[in-house]
C-alpha cells in the first residue's frame, strides 16, 4: 500500500495554505519542496519510498480577450496635449510621445471591459489569477527610453480628451504605479500585467502608456483593420 506524506517546506513570504494577501505565485516561483497550486505555494504529495511527486490537481484556465466577433469590450484612445479638446477613440492606432512634432506630449490609454464576472468566457470573480499578459503590436518604432505602462486611476472612455481626463487637464494625479517598462521596437510585444489583476477586480480602469522619449510610438488599436494586430490580454487563473 502506498503511503503519501505532505512536504511542508516554508519559504520567506510564501506559506501553505495561502500567500500573503495580494501576492500570487507562478510555476517555479515557490521554495524548494513546494509547488504553485491555484495561486498559492503548497506542499507536493510525494511517495515516501522516493517515487515521483504527484502534482496537486488544479482547475486552471487561460482566457484571451481581443476585439472581434466574440468580444467587443476594448477601449483605447490617445490623449493629445496639442489637440486637447479632440478625442481619438475611433483611430486605428494609439500613441505615446514625450514631445510630438507639435511640441506636446501624447499618452495612450487602453482598457478591457467586462472580462471579470460569472458569465461564460470571463474570469470568475473568486478566481486566483496566476498570470496576465498584455499584447500590443507597435506599428511605428520609437526612441529610447521608451517609457512605462502605468495604472489608470480615473474613469474614462474613448471620447475622453486631454482636457477631460480626470479632474483637470492632463494626467497629473490621474495615473498610478508603474506596471511594466514599455517596448518601442516595431513588432508584437507581450507585457507582463499580472500585478494589475492581483487582487482580482471587476473595476480595473486600464493602463496609460507614458513615453520618456521625444521619438514617439504608435501601436495598433482595437479599431485596426487586421484583427490579429489589435491589442489583447490573456489571463491564466485557477478556481
Question: What is residue 42's predicted lDDT score, i.e. its pLDDT?
Answer: 53
Tell me: the pLDDT tens digits for 92-147? 999 999 988 778 999 999 999 999 998 889 999 999 999 999 999 999 989 888 89
Say if residue 126 is in the same domain as residue 23. Answer: no
92-106 pLDDT per residue, tens: 999 999 988 778 999
The total number of structural domains in the chain stands at: 2
| 24, 100: one domain | no
Query: Do 73 and 31 share a structural domain?
Result: no
The boundaries of the domain holding residue 1 are 1-58
Query: Do 150 and 79 share a structural domain?
Result: yes
pLDDT in tens, 58-84: 589 999 999 999 999 999 999 999 999
CA angle 224, 151, 72 (to 5 degrees): 35
Other beta carbons within 10 angstroms of residue 206's beta carbon come to 18
Same domain, 28 and 122: no
Q: How far apart are CA 152 and CA 224, in angstroms?
A: 23
At residue 36, the pLDDT reads 64
Residues 104 and 210 in one domain: yes
pTM > 0.85: no
Residue 113: per-residue pLDDT:
97
Residues 6 and 107 in one domain: no
Amino acid at each position: 500500500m502506498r503511503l503519501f506524506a505532505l512536504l511542508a517546506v516554508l519559504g520567506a513570504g510564501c506559506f501553505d495554505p495561502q500567500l500573503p494577501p495580494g501576492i500570487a505565485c507562478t510555476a517555479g516561483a515557490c521554495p524548494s519542496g513546494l509547488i504553485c497550486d491555484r495561486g498559492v505555494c503548497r506542499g507536493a504529495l510525494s511517495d515516501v519510498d522516493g517515487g515521483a511527486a504527484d502534482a496537486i490537481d488544479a482547475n486552471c484556465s487561460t482566457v484571451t480577450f481581443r476585439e472581434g466577433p466574440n468580444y467587443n469590450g476594448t477601449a483605447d484612445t490617445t490623449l493629445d496635449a496639442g489637440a486637447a479638446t479632440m478625442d481619438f477613440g475611433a483611430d486605428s492606432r494609439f500613441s505615446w510621445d514625450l514631445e510630438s512634432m507639435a511640441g506636446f506630449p501624447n499618452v495612450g490609454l487602453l482598457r478591457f471591459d467586462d472580462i471579470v464576472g460569472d458569465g461564460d468566457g470571463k474570469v470568475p470573480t473568486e478566481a486566483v489569477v496566476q498570470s496576465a499578459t498584455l499584447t500590443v503590436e507597435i506599428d511605428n518604432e520609437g526612441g529610447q527610453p521608451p517609457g512605462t505602462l502605468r495604472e489608470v486611476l480615473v474613469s474614462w472612455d474613448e471620447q475622453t480628451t486631454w482636457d477631460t481626463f480626470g479632474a483637470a487637464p492632463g494626467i497629473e494625479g490621474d495615473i498610478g504605479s508603474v506596471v511594466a517598462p514599455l517596448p518601442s521596437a516595431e513588432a508584437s510585444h507581450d507585457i507582463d500585467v499580472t500585478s494589475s489583476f492581483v487582487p482580482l477586480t471587476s473595476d480595473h480602469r486600464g493602463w496609460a502608456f507614458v513615453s520618456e522619449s521625444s521619438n514617439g510610438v504608435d501601436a495598433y488599436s482595437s479599431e485596426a483593420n487586421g484583427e490579429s494586430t489589435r491589442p489583447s490580454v490573456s489571463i491564466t487563473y485557477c478556481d
